[in-house]
Amino acid sequence: MDAVTLSVIKADVGSYVGHSQVHPDLLAAAKKLLARQKLIEDYHVTNCGDDLELILTHREGVDSPEIHNIAWDVFMHCTEVAKSLKLYGAGQDMLADSFAGNVRGMGPGVAEMEIVPRKSEPVIVFMADKTSPSAFSLPLYRIFADPFCSAGLILDPKLHDGFRFEVLDIEDGRRILLDTPEELYDVLALIGIVSRYLVKRVYRKDGEIAAAASTEKLSKIAGEYVGKDDPVAIVRCQSGFPAVGEVLEPFAFPHLVPGFMRGSHNGPLMPVAQPDAHPRRFDGPPRIIALGFQLNGSRLVGPVDLFDDPSFEGARRKANEIADYMRSHGPFQPHLLGVEDLEYTTLPKVLDRLHARFETLAASEKKGFSKKAKMPAATH
């Protein structure tokens, strides 16, 4: 069987009202353009909130300049449609004037995998809005390494060997491969630090790819805030991979993710059906959708809107309760993100203005504030 590449490429090229959702004219324009592309064997166009997502199959492999160029042109054209409608933030994720061979680092987010489809190939495409790529670390860990989530890790001999995690260190631009269950604590030690370490891919130990997530960080690319880097991910399911229900299971817990209003607040990740993917309250709460497909060669059979299910009502209710609770903190942490992760802040200006009014504390007073003085002594 021939290899097929599944590419999910997304960008926010303008939305309405404000940063809430993609206008139907942009979806229609994207579909029309993709239909004309010979290299694209099948496609599905959708949106999660203000992000326009192109789900593409082709034979060109990952990081193909031709495929990325097609996606770039679609986003550029949709930017023009957004401008003509005076939509909000038209072209906000298009950080370059012209295409330079790969959309990575140019604004759009990308998750891709090249696979030889099995006899039957179920895949789930996750798409999130008002959050950041680290939102996938907890669920990917639970899907591929936590037997309390994926029963198959214990019950299915094909899953019992565990999986290999590719973890990125986005501060130092490096990666590491770690095996689970053997190095489970090391994986958690890293990916629990969501502002620095991210799960990029997961592999079976025979090298077969199991999951891929987008890890572009717009704020780092542009050097200043230009829009949240809302992530996408692809996960393969069944016979040798976790079952569809195991892959969806972590989302029954609406974990806290960075994003929400102004990309500067922690809030719960709410699993919703695609028509409900329009963050509104406090520009949130952050949303995630899951579209399931069966790959028939390169044909996308589907989608099935997997969170359109009453069994996720509890998660949505809990997410709303958590949103109430977090919102009550107003401008205080931990609703507000740590200083280094704020997308918007007036703090440097406030500090500049107040600089001269700060008084140095006397040495004896300082001591009382020192962390060292408060640290309890070791008892062993």
- Nearest distance from C-beta of residue 128 to ligand F6R, angstroms: 11
* Residue 12 binds to Mg ion (criterion: CB under 5 A): yes
Would you say 90 or 153 has its CB closer to ligand F6R? Answer: 90
What is the full DSSP assignment across 250-308?
GGGS--EEEESGGG-EEEE-EE--GGG----BTTBS-EEEEEEEEEETTEEEEEEETT-
Query: Residue 62: is it exposed, middle or buried by C-beta count within 10 angstroms (0-12/13-18/19+)?
Result: middle
Choosing from 63, 225, 276, 341, the catalytic residue is 225
Complex with Mg ion: residue 50 or 114, whichever CB lies closer = 50
Angle at 170 between CA 165 and CA 176, to 5 degrees: 30
Supply the minimum distance, in Å, between the C-beta of residue 334 and Mg ion.
Answer: 22
| Residue 129 makes contact with Mg ion by CB under 5 A | yes
225 tagged catalytic: yes
Residue 283's binding partner out of Mg ion, ligand F6R, none, with CB under 5 to 8 Å set by partner kind: ligand F6R
Is 228 in the active site? yes
* List 16, 228, 230, 283, catalytic entry: 228
Contacts with ligand F6R, 15-34, as mask; x by CB under 6 A: ---xx---------------
By CB under 6 A, name the one of 130, 142, 201, 278 that touches ligand F6R: 130
12 catalytic per annotation = yes
Which of ligand F6R, Mg ion, none does residue 51 bind (CB under 5 to 8 Å by kind)? Mg ion
Could you say which DSSP state residue 284 is in? B
Instruction: Pick the binder of ligand F6R from 10, 142, 217, 228 (CB under 6 A).
Output: 228
| 323 contacts: CB under 8 Å, gap ≥ 6 | 267, 268, 270, 281, 282, 284, 285
Q: Which residue's structure tokens are 């899953």?
A: 159
Segment (H or E) for 57: strand 51-58
Collapsed DSSP state (helix, strand, coil) of residue 305: strand
Span of 103-111, 258-266, 354-362, 369-377 interacting with ligand F6R by CB under 6 A: 258-266
Q: Helices (DSSP H) in the chain: which residue ranges?
A: 24-35, 65-84, 137-145, 152-155, 184-191, 218-222, 244-248, 313-327, 347-354, 363-369, 371-374
What minimum distance in Å lies between the beta carbon of 10 and Mg ion?
A: 9
Between CA 359 and CA 366, with CA 362 as vertex, the angle to 5 degrees is 95
> By C-beta, is 64 or 134 nearer to ligand F6R?
134
CB 264 within 8 A of CB 96: no
* Torsion sign, CA atoms 138, 144, 145, 147: positive
Phi, psi of 331 (to 5 degrees): -85, 15
- When CB distances are held under 5 to 8 angstroms depending on the partner's kind, the choice from ligand F6R, Mg ion, none that residue 258 binds is none
Of 280-299, which residues contact ligand F6R (CB under 6 A)?
283
Using CA atoms, how far apart are residues 319 and 254, in angstroms rounded to an integer? Answer: 6
Our finding on whether 261 is near ligand F6R (CB under 6 A) is yes
Question: Which one among 250, 263, 267, 271 touches ligand F6R, defined by CB under 6 A?
Answer: 263
Q: Does 229 sit near ligand F6R (CB under 6 A)?
A: no
| Least spacing, CB of residue 90 vs ligand F6R, in Å | 11
Q: Convert residues 222-251 into a mask of x (bound to Mg ion by CB under 5 A) and - (unbound).
A: --------x---------------------
Q: Which option in Mg ion, ligand F6R, none does residue 261 bind, with CB closer than 5 to 8 A by kind?
A: ligand F6R
Taking a C-beta distance cutoff of 8 angstroms, is the pair 235, 210 a contact? yes
Q: Is 50 in the site for Mg ion (CB under 5 A)?
A: yes
In Å, how far from its chain's centre is CA 75?
A: 19
Residue 327's H or E segment, with its range, is: helix 313-327
By beta-carbon proximity to ligand F6R, the closer residue of 107 and 292 is 107
Active site residues: 12, 225, 228
Q: What are the residues binding ligand F6R (CB under 6 A)?
A: 18-19, 89, 130, 228, 259, 261-263, 283
Q: What are the residues binding Mg ion (CB under 5 A)?
A: 12, 15, 19, 49-51, 89, 129, 230
